[in-house]
Amino acid sequence: MAKQPFACGECNQILPEPENKKDPVQCPHCPNSPVTTDWQGFVVILNPGRSEVAKRLNITRPGNYALKVNIR
Name which of 9, 26, 13 is nearest 65 in CA terms.
13
3-state secondary structure of 63: strand
Query: Each residue of 29-38: b (16+ CB within 10 Å) or e?
Result: eeeeeebbee
CB neighbour class for 26 (10 Å; exposed up to 12, middle 13-18, buried from 19): middle
Residues of the chain with pLDDT under 70: 1-2
pLDDT in tens, 50-64: 999 999 999 999 999
* pLDDT score at 32: 94
CB neighbour class for 6 (10 Å; exposed up to 12, middle 13-18, buried from 19): buried
Under CATH, which number does the domain 7-69 receive?
2.20.28.90
Domain locations along the chain: 7-69
